[in-house]
Amino acid sequence: MDIENFQQCLSYIEYARPAKNSLEKIIAVGGTLAGAALGFALNYFHAKSKESRSTKNKLMCCDEDVHRIRAYLTMEIKEVLRLNSKLVNRKPLIDYRLQDSISTLLIDEYFPEVAHKFSRNQRYWLQELLNNLKIVNSMLSEIKEGKRIGKPYEMTLSCLSFIDSAAFSSYLCTMILSNTVAPRLTTVEFLQANEFDSSFVQDYSLAESNALHENKEFCL
């Protein structure tokens, strides 16, 4: 068979091949579209799953930071109560440890990204907590400065302010974690409810009374 006859055979075979009907064309197009849709869906759900895990981790970090802050507040309140007791009883100011500040590192970093996942109350309480911790940290600095310059009465005022602000901050932490409004306690009620040393609580009350009478009771 020469080349010309071979080409004629190919042309005949191509001509004799039955054309695709409409259904076959639809199936072919549908298969292509289905594959594209499946690929899009897989990518979408993978991205959403990754985003969900990221959000969950950020929420967990915020929650852990609030737990940590409350624990540090408890430790610092205990130390400042002990210091205040030494001041009231005119004892040497030795053997007490205070942090420089209480940080909010994880909340600062992640809360803006997941704020919408918190309730309205939680968002409000978190903002209040951040603002109040600035006062707490300021009072810590004042207490340390008071010890350096040796003014006992001024130190008791700083101790009282710190304890009040720290107690309120701890109260905010409790409401944030439970997402429930808790009864507002006085500072003394808070100290008693959280089982701080009763003698320290009593000395807190004495220092508070002395402050109300402008240092006329103890003349520190």
Rounded distance between C-alpha atoms, residue 195 and residue 173, angstroms: 18
The per-residue pLDDT for range 198-210, each reduced to its tens digit, is 999 999 999 999 9
- pLDDT for 10 equals 47
- pLDDT for 52 equals 60
Q: Is 101 helix (H, G, I), strand (E, B) or coil?
A: coil
Question: Is the pLDDT confidence value at 11 over 60?
Answer: no
Q: Could you tell me if 100 and 28 lie in one domain?
A: no
pTM of model > 0.85: no
Q: Could you tell me if 18 and 115 lie in one domain?
A: no
Structural domain includes residue 48? no
CA-closest candidate to residue 142, choices 201, 187, 83, 70? 83
Q: How many domains does the chain have?
A: 2
Structural domain includes residue 146? yes
Structural domain includes residue 151? yes
Q: Identify the burial level of 143 via C-beta atoms within 10 angstroms of its C-beta, where 0-12 means exposed, 13-18 middle and 19 or more buried.
A: buried
Q: Could you tell me if 93 and 128 lie in one domain?
A: yes
Structural domain includes residue 165? yes
Structural domain includes residue 46? no
- pLDDT for 23 equals 61
Q: Could you tell me if 187 and 150 lie in one domain?
A: yes
Q: Which two tokens stand for residue 220?
A: 């520190």
Q: Could you tell me if 31 and 136 lie in one domain?
A: no
Q: Which two tokens stand for residue 24?
A: 């076959």
Q: Could you tell me if 87 and 8 lie in one domain?
A: no
Describe the crossing of helices 22-88 and 152-178 by its angle, rounded to 10 degrees. 150
Rounded distance between C-alpha atoms, residue 122 and residue 93, angstroms: 39
- pLDDT for 99 equals 85
Question: Is the pLDDT confidence value at 144 over 90?
Answer: no
What does 19-72 look like in DSSP terms, one character per residue? PP-HHHHHHHHHHHHHHHHHHHHHHHHHHHHHHHHHHHHHHHHHHHHHHHHHHH
Q: Could you tell me if 87 and 125 lie in one domain?
A: yes
Structural domain includes residue 49? no
The per-residue pLDDT for range 101-143, each reduced to its tens digit, is 999 999 999 999 999 999 999 999 999 999 999 999 999 988 8
Structural domain includes residue 219? no
User: Across the chain, what does the average pLDDT equal?
Assistant: 84
CATH code, 101:
1.20.140
Structural domain includes residue 107? yes
Domain that holds residue 29: 3-40
On the CB side of 58, CA atoms within 13 Å amount to 18
- Residues 204, 160 contacting (CB under 8 angstroms): yes
Q: Could you tell me if 106 and 170 lie in one domain?
A: yes
